[in-house]
Amino acid sequence: AQSVAQPEDQVNVAEGNPLTVKCTYSVSGNPYLFWYVQYPNRGLQFLLKYITGDNLVKGSYGFEAEFNKSQTSFHLKKPSALVSDSALYFCAVREGPNAGNMLTFGGGTRLMVKP
């Protein structure tokens, strides 16, 4: 069975400082990894994904994530946080390229960026 862990329920960071939202995963085959952001009462917005290739993936709004196979991690990062980045972030994993395969979500991490 595949699983995703986001160990922090909430991350607090000051505006302008770098941020990291942690994610570790477990999957039996090749992992396809995703980060989504959710604003209040809204659906999920895609940020970035890792399929194959470079371990450092760049996505929307200045976010990036680094795939680390040995640590089975896919942490989300941003060099300089904005107050508008405050939202709920979900990491997700599925096994292999078939988009019809189950997508398993982590529990979510609330990011609070303070002015």
Partner 1 sequence: GAVVSQHPSWVICKSGTSVKIECRSLDFQATTMFWYRQFPKQSLMLMATSNEGSKATYEQGVEKDKFLINHASLTLSTLTVTSAHPEDSSFYICSAILGTSGSADEQFFGPGTRLTVL
Contact set with partner 1 (CB under 8 A): 34, 36, 41-46, 49, 51, 90, 97-100, 102-103, 105-108
Nearest 5°: the CA angle 94, 77, 46 is 45
Specify the residue, 29 or 107, whose C-beta has the smaller distance to partner 1. 107
Specify the residue, 50 or 75, whose C-beta has the smaller distance to partner 1. 50
DSSP tag of 52: S
Nearest approach, Cβ of residue 80 and partner 1 (Å): 27
109-114 vs 10-14, strand pairing mode = parallel
Nearest approach, Cβ of residue 67 and partner 1 (Å): 16
Specify the residue, 40 or 115, whose C-beta has the smaller distance to partner 1. 40
- What's the CA gap between 70 and 51, in Å, rounded? 16
- What's the CA gap between 79 and 63, in Å, rounded? 8
Nearest approach, Cβ of residue 81 and partner 1 (Å): 22
